[in-house]
Structure 1
Amino acid sequence: MSVNLLAPNPATLYPVPGVRIGVTEAGVRKANRKDLTVVLIDEGACVSGVFTQNRFCAAPVQICREHLASGKGVRAMLINTGNANAGTGEDGRVRALSTCKALAAKLGIEANQILPFSTGVIMESLPIDRIEAGLDGALADMGDNHWLRAAEGIMTTDTVAKAFGTQVMIGGALVSITGISKGAGMIRPNMATMLGFMATDACVSPALMRQLATELAEGSFNRVTVDGDTSTNDSFVVIATHKVKHAVIDSLDSADGQALKAAMLSVALQLAQAIVRDGEGATKFIAIKVEGGNTTAECRQVAYAIAHSPLVKTAFFASDPNLGRILAAVGYAGIADLDQTGIDLFLDEVHVAIKGGRNPLYREEEGQRVMKQSEITVRVVLGRGDAADTVWTCDLSHEYVTINADYRS
């Protein structure tokens, strides 16, 4: 089940020169499913990543950070699903490094030029024998148009593969951008139980890549939540292969920098919102817009208080306009000097609360009409300033409990 999320359109998943992808069935956890992906990256590309803020981060996250910091130049990524290699201690690090060494030996590169990624069940040993045995199959499958296969190969409880692409003119040259992601549960910002990979053939300076990855994540993946749980394995990686020969972009404030960031952010936002639309058991996609704050940070703080509330989320699932739950969440969001008499609340165009109290013109049947929709916008006006921000979430259904109760079976 997903909320108005269509399968990817292969015609819009543009090959990115300098990136090739191979996918195979390695039997990491279950037979007869794509679960091992290898991404090869040409020499000279720039790679940067943003990772989970969970202090109990998985072994592959630790190693990715170390390998990126080594400055050796990333030449490959190795991604498995079915096993998260998290909560596995030193043995997990040894196993993740073993897979990097095995792939490096086949490619004739150094192990620290490989970024490993894992997603799936936590606290189980990574089956390196199956992964290493599957490497030849993944390498034999290499192609520059395998983005959809990769999107399918990184799924766990996802019901729909997530992949989007676009093209944009930069410095008189046509630049391609394609990305994939996975995630459906254990989703909240900083980042989410998600893997996201995006590549472009644009020329971006190495010094700018970290800023680009961070700003893309901040504008997309760090604006979504399904259940409020921050995963151990979150990773978002951005690749620039430098195959299009326009002038090198060394500032996001330049015209070319702004055009590239806007195009890449549009893809990242689609990938992030697809995760919410495919949230475990989700039946509704909800945008929570908070306006009139002193800062965007406090607007987001209020938006997340609403988005994380089980009472709010279950009300949306039931199409029950018990909207005092939203006002209560605004009140406990943590803004000490919030004046409740300045708050207005809207469901789509329906003005529910005015100056902190029920709008005399509001009728519950109007609220219920909106609540029955598959896509809903909640708008809160704080009356404190000019700042605004938006978070995307979903409802909380019986199916969410069922999926997570049966996850390991």
Structure 2
Amino acid sequence: MPQGFRAGGLHCGLKKTSRFDLGVIVCEVPAQAAGVYTLNAFQAAPLHVTRESVAVEGKLQVMLVNSGNANACTGKQGDQDARGMRAAAAEAFGVAEHLVGVTSTGVIGELLPMPKVLGGIEKLPQQVKADGGEDFCQAILTTDLVQKMTCVQLTVGGKTVHIAGSAKGSGMIHPNMATMLGFMTTDAKIESAQLQKLLNGVTDSTFNMITVDGDTSTNDMVIVMASGLAGNDESLTPEHPDWAAFEAGFRYVGEYLAKAIARDGEGATKLIEVSVTGAETQNAARAIAKTVIGSSLVKSACFGADANWGRIIAAVGRAGQPVNTETVDIRLGDISVLEQSRPIKFDEPQAAEYLKGELVVIHVNLNMGNEHATAWGCDLTYDYVRINAAYRT
């Protein structure tokens, strides 16, 4: 846990089981804050409240989250409930309301049982501790099978700095934010505006490059809080001599969490990585990588261990980006299946065996330029349909 932060979680009754469903991250001081949010037109009430809080002075001290209920598409009552959660957390932890962020995840279109939520918030301060990260991670899960968290340590200005992160997400995952919540904390000294720029850039190449099922949710956000308690005297900017190291650590945490979400896709049996090289522009590389990783046919072929490269080349061609139809190379891991847009002989049993692994890497070289991008997703299985056919029940 970066210096100055504590976390915790408890069960307040939103979930039918006894798993934790209310969690919080607390900082000793008002932390510099930044956030990115879903692009879905229907944004849940907590997102508006959190944006409003951050806009006051670019700081947060308490980040509250519940699972089991999204508080989305719930009208004026949902907005009042989100604000009620913020006010209750502010009182419980003794901070100003604008220093509290709120987020929710779960079923859309159901009102929060506020007596349960408010009762849980009242008890949260007793559950917060320096080693409360795992309790917090449990509290944010919905259909996730595993907790997702990581931390890196580096040196900035001669001081030891930490960057930590946790996330939830398993289904309704697609680029430009998904049904995912991400929380990053650091004890580095960095101003809110610079933190926002860094988060925007890292999100574009990590969280916005994953997909499970092509659906973008109403509640997604990534929030970053920086306590500044590591002791580095000079605020971090791109001109700082240790900026490159800090940016690399920040990007590592974002990519780790993004890949963990993709790997834990509902019903998934493997992580799929699509690497596109040789593009004329980075936008083209990203668009093609996301189109291939989002293809239900590609995902199904990976599940069935079928080296059907035709599905990959078809996805490349429909991505809406310029391609030279005479120069595309495709590899499955180290196995070449297409060179200069022409099929080549390959060992089918060897390819099938490769596709049965827990990690499948698809390489697409357009041979048109120097830009590249990587996207992550998972296979499409029978269990995905089973899970989502009965999500509310």
TM-score normalised over the length of structure 1: 0.93
Equivalent in 19, 38, 43 of residue 24 of structure 2: 38
CA distance in 1, matches of 2:374, 2:58: 38
2:369 paired with 1:388: no
How far residue 393 of structure 1 moved from its aligned partner, in angstroms, is 0.9
The answer on whether the counterparts of 2:331 and 2:363 sit within 8 Å (CA) in structure 1 is yes
How far residue 324 of structure 1 moved from its aligned partner, in angstroms, is 0.5
The answer on whether the counterparts of 1:186 and 1:231 sit within 8 Å (CA) in structure 2 is yes
The answer on whether the counterparts of 1:163 and 1:181 sit within 8 Å (CA) in structure 2 is yes
Instruction: String of CA shifts for 1:378-406, please: whole Å, max 9, x gaps.
Output: 00111211111100111000000001111
SS across alignment from 1:70: helix
Amino acid at match of 2:51: R
Amino acid at match of 1:327: I
Equivalent in 317, 324, 337 of residue 339 of structure 1: 324
Amino acid at match of 2:277: E
Q: Which residue of 1 aligns with 2:267?
A: 281
Q: Which residue of 1 aligns with 2:148?
A: 162
Q: Which residue of 1 aligns with 2:60?
A: 74
CA distance in 1, matches of 2:38, 2:84: 22
Q: CA RMSD in A?
A: 1.4
CA distance in 1, matches of 2:160, 2:274: 35
Please list, as runs of the form range in 1=range in 2, the aligned pairs for 1:287-298 lying within 5 A after superposition.
Answer: 287-298=273-284
The answer on whether the counterparts of 1:207 and 1:250 sit within 8 Å (CA) in structure 2 is no
How far residue 254 of structure 1 moved from its aligned partner, in angstroms, is 2.9
CA distance in 1, matches of 2:178, 2:241: 31
Following TM superposition, the consecutive aligned residue runs of length 4 or more in structure 1 with deviations greater than 6 angstroms are none
How far residue 75 of structure 1 moved from its aligned partner, in angstroms, is 1.9
Amino acid at match of 1:401: V
SS across alignment from 1:152: helix
2:344 paired with 1:348: no
The answer on whether the counterparts of 1:205 and 1:248 sit within 8 Å (CA) in structure 2 is no
Distance change (3 Å), C-alpha of 1:395 and 1:172? same
CA distance in 2, matches of 1:382, 1:163: 35
Q: Which residue of 1 aligns with 2:43?
A: 57
Instruction: String of CA shifts for 1:172-224, please: whole Å, max 9, x gaps.
Output: 11112221100000111211211111111111123312112212322321121
CA distance in 1, matches of 2:51, 2:159: 33
CA distance in 1, matches of 2:206, 2:356: 26
The answer on whether the counterparts of 1:173 and 1:246 sit within 8 Å (CA) in structure 2 is yes
CA distance in 2, matches of 1:253, 1:302: 33
Distance change (3 Å), C-alpha of 1:252 and 1:148? farther
CA distance in 1, matches of 2:23, 2:164: 16
The answer on whether the counterparts of 1:23 and 1:34 sit within 8 Å (CA) in structure 2 is yes
Note the residue ranges of structure 1 that are not aligned, 5 or more in a row. 1-14
Which range moved further: 381-390 or 105-114?
A: 105-114
Q: Which residue of 2 aligns with 1:3?
A: none
How far residue 354 of structure 1 moved from its aligned partner, in angstroms, is 1.1
Please list, as runs of the form range in 1=range in 2, the aligned pairs for 1:78-89 lying within 5 A after superposition.
Answer: 78-89=64-75
The answer on whether the counterparts of 2:7 and 2:132 sit within 8 Å (CA) in structure 1 is yes
How far residue 72 of structure 1 moved from its aligned partner, in angstroms, is 6.7
How far residue 253 of structure 1 moved from its aligned partner, in angstroms, is 4.6
Amino acid at match of 2:287: Q
Q: Which residue of 2 aligns with 1:267?
A: 253
Count of aligned positions: 393
The answer on whether the counterparts of 2:59 and 2:192 sit within 8 Å (CA) in structure 1 is no
SS across alignment from 2:323: coil
The answer on whether the counterparts of 2:73 and 2:109 sit within 8 Å (CA) in structure 1 is yes
Q: Which residue of 1 aligns with 2:314?
A: 328
CA distance in 2, matches of 1:108, 1:160: 33
Distance change (3 Å), C-alpha of 1:36 and 1:44? closer
Instruction: String of CA shifts for 1:134-154, please: whole Å, max 9, x gaps.
Output: 113211111111111111111
SS across alignment from 1:40: strand
CA distance in 2, matches of 1:73, 1:206: 7
The answer on whether the counterparts of 1:72 and 1:112 sit within 8 Å (CA) in structure 2 is no
CA distance in 2, matches of 1:367, 1:297: 30
Q: Which residue of 2 aligns with 1:126?
A: 112
How far residue 31 of structure 1 moved from its aligned partner, in angstroms, is 4.0
SS across alignment from 1:188: coil
Instruction: String of CA shifts for 1:62-96, please: whole Å, max 9, x gaps.
Output: 11111111227322111000000111122211110
Amino acid at match of 1:358: P
How far residue 279 of structure 1 moved from its aligned partner, in angstroms, is 0.7
The answer on whether the counterparts of 2:10 and 2:135 sit within 8 Å (CA) in structure 1 is no
TM-score normalised over the length of structure 2: 0.97
CA distance in 1, matches of 2:175, 2:234: 31
